Structure 1
Amino acid sequence: MSLRQFEYALAVAEEGSVTAAAELLHVAQPSVSQQIRGLERDLGVQLFSRTPTGLVPTVVGRAFLREAEVAVSASRRARATARAGAEELAGELTVAAQLGFGTRQLPGALGTLRRRFPRLEITVFEEPSSAELEQLCRRGVLDLALMAACERSPADAHRLGDEEFVVVLGAGHPQLASDRVDLRELEGEPWVRFDRDSALDAVLQNVLREAGPAPITAARVSQTATAVRWAAQGLGPTLVPASAVPHGHEHLVRPVFPVVTQPVIAVLRQDAGPAETALLGLLRQETWSDSASFARSA
């Protein structure tokens, strides 16, 4: 078995077909088929089942692919570390953030990192489920993750600050006259909410549980920018991290009372390399709580 075979199997699982995997990997289709057959022969198991919608990993295949993903990620990190010099860093960096966290801070830090190390290839994605984010960290898939809480040791977890949550209201909403919005004043209004397994929806439920009845749902969305835009159109208020508010909507945003905050934790993989260490240093320089800019102007 080889890492190349692992990479081919992961590509087939991601794309759902040998043809699409070959295009993704920029190799000939027969090469992918041959590698997958050889891998299954060496393992003595069937990794994929053919269905009307494409190739789907078997139960054994899914278990194998989880470990293959860890091995491939470790190999990429090892190559990046080996290539790291005093002035140059090459390789791959995988970063994930809990939905809504670091929306303002992360792009700036990554931009600085990329200008400093132009050969560094960076993959970034948002994860709505905090439980899934922690699982990805434990599996060693991520180089750095931003989240509200984690079970890692202090050596791996670094508190960057706090993310304050704000409420977004529709134009003309009477609560826009307030410097801070008492959430009890929004009782009975339907909310623009996030997916049920989202960490952001859990924040809203916990806050409103203390303020009064459970929230009424006007709509559910998957992205913070969508929630802000829909709230701005009058569908209902939404509660988001302050840094997640898109430019142009600041006049519809207010801090809330009582204050709602969550810690921002940066979790580095074990034996962190120079790329993620450099990114952590840049993130420490960012401002992580700035809801004062949303207060009503005099």
Structure 2
Amino acid sequence: MSLRQFEYALAVAEEGSVTAAAERLRVAQPSVSQQIRGLERELGVVLFTRTPTGLVPTAVGRAFLREAQAAVSAARRARATARAGAEELVGEVAVAVQMGFGTRQLPDALRTLRRRYPRLEVTVFEEPSSAELERLCRRGALGLALMAACERSPADAHHLGEEELVVVLAPGHPQLAADRVELRALRGEPWVRFDRDSALDGVLLNALGDSDPATAARVSQTATAVRWAAHGLGAALVTASAVPPGHEHLTRPVSPALSQPVIAVLRPDTGPAETALLQLLRQQTWSEPAEPAEPAEPVSPLSLTPVPVS
């Protein structure tokens, strides 16, 4: 068996056909078919079943593909490590950011990383859902995640600092006259909220002391929440660093002060790119815990733990 056969089998499983897999791999279709047949002969099993919608992995095939994915991922990281030793780090780094964490710190860290390794490609996306973060991590799709600490944070998580939370209000809102806004004073007003299983929505419920505040809309991006709040749809509670330029005058710190610890979770078998990015993030300026801070009960089912790629 070879890594090439593993890669061909994974491509067929993802695309659902030999033709599509060959196009993606930029090889001839007979070559893919031959490699899959050879792999099945060597293993003595059938990896794929033909259905009206395309090729589907068998039960044995699914088990094999999980191990094949781990082998291919390990090989790619090994190549990246070797190239990093020669200061030629290439490949892709996938970073997930929860609740807009690191909006101010990530650009500087990524700029330095790209200057050092210009052939490195970085994908960053905001994911408010803790359940989705865990799913992506278990799939091995994430190299690094910035998320809120919780009672089940991994023991080896890296604490980077704090993110202050602010409330965003519409122009002319009477509470903008205050230096700080007490969230309970906004009870009964509509809110632009995040997904139900997001850590930030849990913080809002806890701070309001209301299990069912008026919901104007639910969004998945902090920048969207800020802009919609600025247009009068409802108030929004977001991280201060995620407020887009030009909207700062519509934000106020809350009272009692609220902040969320920011931790970085790396895949256990992570490569040198993720490690380098973590070190650069450590060098950034992060806020200290807000004072006075009101101890908050765990309100989000965050359970992301470092797990082997599977």
TM-score per shorter chain, which class?
Answer: 0.7 to 0.9
2:100, 2:239 within 8 Å by CA — same for their partners in 1?
yes
Query: Following the alignment from structure 1 to structure 2, what is the Cα–Cα distance between the partners of residues 62 and 216?
Result: 45
Match of 1:102 in 2: 102
> Where do 1:131-146 residues align within 5 Å?
131-137=131-137, 140-146=140-146
Counterparts in 2 of 1:247 and 1:40: CA distance versus 1, 3 Å: farther
> Where do 1:190-229 residues align within 5 Å?
190-208=190-208, 211-229=209-227
Does residue 253 (structure 1) correspond to residue 260 (structure 2)? The answer is: no
1:48, 1:61 within 8 Å by CA — same for their partners in 2?
no
Name the stretch that deviates more: 194-203 or 258-267: 194-203
**TM-score, normalisation: structure 1:** 0.81
Residue of 257, 261, 264 corresponding to 2:262: 264
Alpha-carbon deviation of 1:18?
A: 4.9
Alpha-carbon deviation of 1:113?
A: 0.1
Counterparts in 2 of 1:195 and 1:5: CA distance versus 1, 3 Å: farther
Q: Give SS of 1:84's match.
A: helix
Percent of aligned pairs with the same amino acid: 77
Counterparts in 2 of 1:22 and 1:241: CA distance versus 1, 3 Å: farther
Counterparts in 2 of 1:75 and 1:171: CA distance versus 1, 3 Å: same
1:165, 1:261 within 8 Å by CA — same for their partners in 2?
yes
Match of 2:155 in 1: 153
Q: CA RMSD in A?
A: 3.1
Q: Give SS of 2:262's match.
A: strand
Query: Following the alignment from structure 1 to structure 2, what is the Cα–Cα distance between the partners of residues 232 and 5?
Result: 53
Letter in 1 for 2:45: G
Letter in 1 for 2:216: A
> Where do 1:271-282 residues align within 5 Å?
272-282=270-280
2:225, 2:236 within 8 Å by CA — same for their partners in 1?
yes
Query: Following the alignment from structure 2 to structure 1, what is the Cα–Cα distance between the partners of residues 197 and 49?
Result: 29
Query: Following the alignment from structure 1 to structure 2, what is the Cα–Cα distance between the partners of residues 27 and 139?
Result: 27
Query: Following the alignment from structure 2 to structure 1, what is the Cα–Cα distance between the partners of residues 244 and 59?
Result: 42
Query: Following the alignment from structure 2 to structure 1, what is the Cα–Cα distance between the partners of residues 70 and 271?
Result: 16
Q: 5+ residue gaps in structure 2?
A: 291-310
Match of 1:283 in 2: 281
Structure 1 residues 175-232: Cα deviation after superposition (integer angstroms, max 9, x where no partner): 1111111101111111111223333323323332xx3452211111122221111111
Name the stretch that deviates more: 184-193 or 140-149: 140-149
Q: 5+ residue gaps in structure 1?
A: 293-298
Does residue 111 (structure 1) correspond to residue 111 (structure 2)? The answer is: yes
Match of 1:185 in 2: 185
2:259, 2:289 within 8 Å by CA — same for their partners in 1?
no
Counterparts in 2 of 1:59 and 1:258: CA distance versus 1, 3 Å: farther
Query: Following the alignment from structure 1 to structure 2, what is the Cα–Cα distance between the partners of residues 191 and 60?
Result: 49
Alpha-carbon deviation of 1:159?
A: 0.5
1:77, 1:92 within 8 Å by CA — same for their partners in 2?
no
Alpha-carbon deviation of 1:33?
A: 4.8
